[in-house]
Amino acid sequence: MDIRFSAEEIAFRDELRGWLKEVLPTLGDPPDSDDWTARRKWDTGWQRMLYDAGYAGINWPSEFGARGSTPTEHLIFLEETTRMGAPYVGMNFVGQLHAGPTLILEATPEQRARHLPAMLKGEEVWCQGFSEPNAGSDLASLSTRAIRDGDHYVVTGQKIWTSFGHVADYCELLVRTDQEAPKHRGITWLICPMDLPGIEVRPITTVAGSSEFCEVFFDEVRIPVENRVGDENDGWRVAMVTFSFERGTAFISELLGTMNQLAEMVDIARNTSRNGSSAWDDDEIRREIGRLQAEYDALWALTKRVVSQAQRTGMPGPGGSVFKLYYADVKKRMADLAHRMLEREALVLAEGSGDEQTGGDMVASRLYVLSLSIAAGTSEIQRNIIGERILGLPKER
Amino acid sequence: MDFELSEDQVALCDGIRDLCQGRFDIDTVRGLADCGGVDRQLWSELADTGVFSLVVPEDEGGVGLGWAEAGLVFEQLGRALVPGPLVGTLLAAEVIDDAVVGFMERPYGPALVEYPEVIDALLVLDRNGVWRVDASELSVEAAQSVDPLTPVGRVDLLPQGEQLMDFCYGWANRAVFLNSALQVGLATGARELAVAYAQERQQFGKPIGQFQAIKHKCADMYSREEVARAALYYAGCVMDVTHGPGLPADPGGYLYFEGCTIELGDTLGDREHQELVRAVSGARILAAEAADHNGKDCVQVHGGMGFTWEIDAHLYLKRAWALTPQFGSLDRHADRIANLVGADPLGHAAPLG
């Protein structure tokens, strides 16, 4: 075990920091959260800047136009961009982290040439059409059907939780092409252009009042057969193979952003009066901040362990499910602590991005964290994965 | 950066685990309750293996490894429930020749001394340094310990003892670290026992581990243990690169803490010192809580049998309870971290002891 960075890794970090210091001040203010045109321009503009500087697709193999960096360099990249306040991957998420890797592994040369450079340059925004109203944790039971008609699949059904569906150009779409086969063996993976006739996108308003999620309705949408990735009825494997790209880096920006918030909580505590003194002088509050810091530090150490395992073996260790399960819980406790400090002020949601000193963004955060134990595999599913795949306990079914 | 066990480290863990399985099987461990927690013969086998001289440099007759390795070894000892004053005996190895050595902070009033019947000496840490108190100087009144494998006795007033060195800040951190390693091992052992039972015990015609209520409890046990383990290993690495006795004076390389690149030299800067304190105290909190919660969950998974003396679940929990009230309460460690991350860094990193 060696937590020291090599001279090469430090040089990579220094070069990146130099670049960030140069470009971040030129970005201006981020757009309003409900101005989707401006948000698309902001997110894809940042992607283009990454591309021009040679940082786009940092987790992709170098033959596809990116740097081919090691998992440790990817960790450094995410650490520096988060700490220095660079834009988040935003609506480039599906293209960069899911659809892109899937195409690299499974698509034809034509499909790759058509989409991968455009994804890297921020010219294509992708969304994910996996979950359905009746296929959530049990994703493989999805029922959106595709019927072959000559050179086309005719798709009818409904997808849900499609982030940025109303802004995206393409959708990675899972459809059922065989009704009779066992549920995992009748699924096909399609590239679906979002401007085809018969697609209707309806934004969903979340408990936080935001609307990046969408429902997507397909009514006899004709998708060319040449848009299929992998074989017909082999889509479940295609979708799952993407996870082999995972290097334990998925939550780095999220975790480090949370650690920044905890540092802000110290300021909030100092500026919140409590019993004639400040909340910082309240032993219970100060100690809970100390404990949360200990837990975030441990999760950062766990991340470094999983990334190191990925670097050694090409596959991350089992820490990913542990991380997600544990992190969702700790982050909820942090939001609850903010509310104990804020008392009546915890009723007030800040305008826009929020005022750190009054803790307004902490109030919004308390709503946002409700999704952490649900999205990308609920905490209950994570516990099943840990119990069955890691501990070897018997499957329920 | 390569924060995963090296081949040598894996081999070290395997070796200690084999030693524990061969010489400290659970019946043997339980039997040690009848001889004050330490059997001299078994203890000298641990010593001969190098368990207590791990961090003593090779040219002084030790194994010459670092704190990260010491943590791995102590984790295995905790997992096997090996009793005895393990922490004190390792820490003492550099300065005195005694075979079985207790280690404690000097209390303000009467003291509770662990393993009073078997120790040769007691190292006492206070604000003025590290002191050696000979076991013969102790006037011990019997007391019943919650942990049958951590016998204790009351001493009205600890003798001052012989001063071995001026206050050495590193001692408390090292003790906290080794204690945490034992606790991570306890959390692991308790989880393994619970999972094994959940696989084998049948109710309603199924192994109980098939029910989510039990499966999810086991998953939570594993999560706590893994997060605590990451914190422990990280703390061991920070100790080694900042003041590792088994390492060359200048380890070289770079550390990176929150926007600050540190080129490692042979002196310990303030920033490295802060990270050391934060890592060790953090590992301490997570390890102690993982051991406590996993001990309780292990009892619960066993149902009625978990409440019996016969099942080993209580031994993990009781050891966790014996190890936790040492070297600063968890609240004190949380304070240390909070003060470091607060706007008054370092100044409030109150020394333990």
Same domain, A47 and A135: no
Q: How many helices (H) and strands (E) does chain A have?
A: 12, 10
Asked if B226 has any chain A CB less than 8 Å from its own CB, the reply is: yes
Q: Which of B1, B6, B216 to mutate to test the interface with A (most CBs of A within 10 A)?
A: B1
Whether residues B219 and A384 touch (CB distance < 8 A) is answered with yes
Same domain, A363 and A279: yes
pLDDT bucket at B351, cuts 50 / 70 / 90: very low
Asked if B251 has any chain A CB less than 8 Å from its own CB, the reply is: yes
Check whether A296 has a pLDDT greater than 50: yes
Partner-chain residue, chosen from B237, B261, B334, that has the shortest CB–CB distance to A291: B334
Residues 6+ apart with CB under 8 A from A209: none
Whether residues A3 and B343 touch (CB distance < 8 A) is answered with no
Partner-chain residue, chosen from A83, A301, A307, that has the shortest CB–CB distance to B234: A301
Q: Classify residue A396: in a domain, yes or no.
A: no
Check whether B249 has a pLDDT greater than 60: no
Q: Which helix (H) or strand (E) holds A386?
A: none
Domains contained in chain B, CATH given: 169-343 (1.20.140.10)
Catalytically active residues of A, by annotation: 246
For A310-351, the three-class secondary structure string (H helix, E strand, C coil) is HHHHCCCCCHHHHHHHHHHHHHHHHHHHHHHHHHHHHHCCCC
Q: Classify residue A269: in a domain, yes or no.
A: yes
Alpha-carbon distance B270 to B262, whole Å?
11
Q: Look at A189-198, B223-232, B245-254 and tell me which has the smallest mean pLDDT.
A: B245-254
Alpha-carbon distance B153 to B113, whole Å?
5
Check whether B344 has a pLDDT greater than 70: no
Instruction: Determine if residue B247 is left, alpha or beta; phi over 0 gives left, psi from -120 to 50 gives alpha, anything else beta.
Output: beta
Q: Classify residue A153: in a domain, yes or no.
A: yes
Rounded mean pLDDT of B109-123?
A: 95
Whether residues A293 and B206 touch (CB distance < 8 A) is answered with no
The residue with greater pLDDT, B257 or B176, is B176
Q: What is the pTM of this model?
A: 0.94
Same domain, A165 and A199: yes
Whether residues B237 and A2 touch (CB distance < 8 A) is answered with yes
The pLDDT of residue B167 is 66
Rounded mean pLDDT of A307-316?
A: 84
Q: Classify residue A140: in a domain, yes or no.
A: yes
Same domain, A261 and A331: yes
Whether residues A3 and B223 touch (CB distance < 8 A) is answered with no
Alpha-carbon distance A130 to A234, whole Å?
15
- What are A63-121's pLDDT values in tens digits? 887 777 889 999 999 999 998 989 999 999 999 999 999 999 999 999 999 999 999 99
Q: Classify residue A115: in a domain, yes or no.
A: no
The pLDDT of residue A320 is 84
Residues 6+ apart with CB under 8 A from B337: A290, A291, A293, A294, B277, B278, B281, B282, B285
Rounded mean pLDDT of A332-349?
A: 89
Q: To the nearest whole number, what is the mean pLDDT of chain A? A: 91
Alpha-carbon distance B215 to B211, whole Å?
6
Same domain, A282 and A346: yes
Alpha-carbon distance A327 to A314, whole Å?
24
pLDDT bucket at A201, cuts 50 / 70 / 90: very high
Residues 42-101 of B with CB under 8 A from A: 68
Q: How many domains does chain A have?
A: 3
Work out the burial of residue B13: count CB atoms within 10 Å of its CB; fewer than 13 is exposed, 13-18 middle, 19 or more buried. Answer: middle
Check whether A397 has a pLDDT greater than 50: yes
Instruction: Determine if residue A35 is left, alpha or beta; phi over 0 gives left, psi from -120 to 50 gives alpha, anything else beta.
Output: beta
The pLDDT of residue B348 is 36
The pLDDT of residue B261 is 60
The pLDDT of residue A264 is 85
Distance from CA of B156 to the nearest CA of A (A): 32
Cβ-based contacts of B10 with chain A (< 8 Å)? none
Domain that holds residue A316: 251-390
Check whether A365 has a pLDDT greater than 60: yes
Check whether A346 has a pLDDT greater than 60: yes
For B296-328, the three-class secondary structure string (H helix, E strand, C coil) is HHHHHHCHHHHHCCCCCHHHHHHHHHHHCCCCC
Final residue in a domain of this structure, among A29, A60, A88: A88
The pLDDT of residue A353 is 42
Q: Which helix (H) or strand (E) holds B23?
A: helix B7-23
What is the side-by-side order of every strand in the sheet holding B141-143? Answer: B111-114, B152-155, B141-143
Alpha-carbon distance B275 to B302, whole Å?
40
Rg of chain A, C-alpha, whole Å: 22
ipTM of the complex: 0.93
Same domain, A263 and A370: yes
Largest CA distance in chain B: 64
Q: Classify residue A196: in a domain, yes or no.
A: yes
Distance from CA of A187 to the nearest CA of B (A): 28
- What are A277-294's pLDDT values in tens digits? 999 999 999 999 999 999
The percent of residues above 70 in pLDDT, for chain A, comes to 97
* CATH label of the domain that carries residue A158: 2.40.110.10
The pLDDT of residue B19 is 97
Distance from CA of A394 to the nearest CA of B (A): 5
- What are B295-310's pLDDT values in tens digits? 999 999 999 999 999 9
Residues 153-192 of B with CB under 8 A from A: none
The pLDDT of residue B258 is 55
Q: To the nearest whole number, what is the mean pLDDT of chain B? A: 89
Question: Structure tokens of A84?
Answer: 């220095």
Check whether B157 has a pLDDT greater than 50: yes
Same domain, A288 and A384: yes
Check whether B343 has a pLDDT greater than 70: no
Check whether B160 has a pLDDT greater than 90: yes
The residue with greater pLDDT, A360 or A137, is A137
Q: Which of A297, A315, A380 to mutate to test the interface with B (most CBs of B within 10 A)?
A: A297
Residues 6+ apart with CB under 8 A from A29: none
Alpha-carbon distance B209 to B193, whole Å?
12
Same domain, A221 and A352: no
The residue with greater pLDDT, A257 or B345, is A257
Work out the burial of residue A117: count CB atoms within 10 Å of its CB; fewer than 13 is exposed, 13-18 middle, 19 or more buried. Answer: middle
Same domain, A299 and A376: yes
Question: Structure tokens of B202?
Answer: 């049948």
Q: What are phi and psi of B115, to 5 degrees?
A: 50, 50
Distance from CA of A15 to the nearest CA of B (A): 13
Same domain, A211 and A267: no
Q: Classify residue A326: in a domain, yes or no.
A: yes
Q: Which is nearest to A309 in space by CA: B230, B15, B252?
A: B230
Q: Classify residue A65: in a domain, yes or no.
A: yes
- What are A117-176's pLDDT values in tens digits? 999 999 999 999 999 999 998 999 999 999 999 999 999 999 999 999 999 999 999 999
Q: Which of B206, B225, B229, B341 to mutate to test the interface with A (most CBs of A within 10 A)?
A: B341
Same domain, A258 and A224: no
Same domain, A256 and A386: yes
Rounded mean pLDDT of B327-349?
A: 74
Work out the burial of residue A209: count CB atoms within 10 Å of its CB; fewer than 13 is exposed, 13-18 middle, 19 or more buried. Answer: exposed
Given CA atoms A37, A39, A40, A44 in this order, what sign does their dihedral have? positive
Does residue B119 contact residue B137 with C-beta atoms inside 8 Å?
no
pLDDT bucket at B205, cuts 50 / 70 / 90: very high
Rounded mean pLDDT of B124-129?
A: 86
* CATH label of the domain that carries residue A267: 1.20.140.10
Check whether B264 has a pLDDT greater than 70: no
Check whether A362 has a pLDDT greater than 90: no
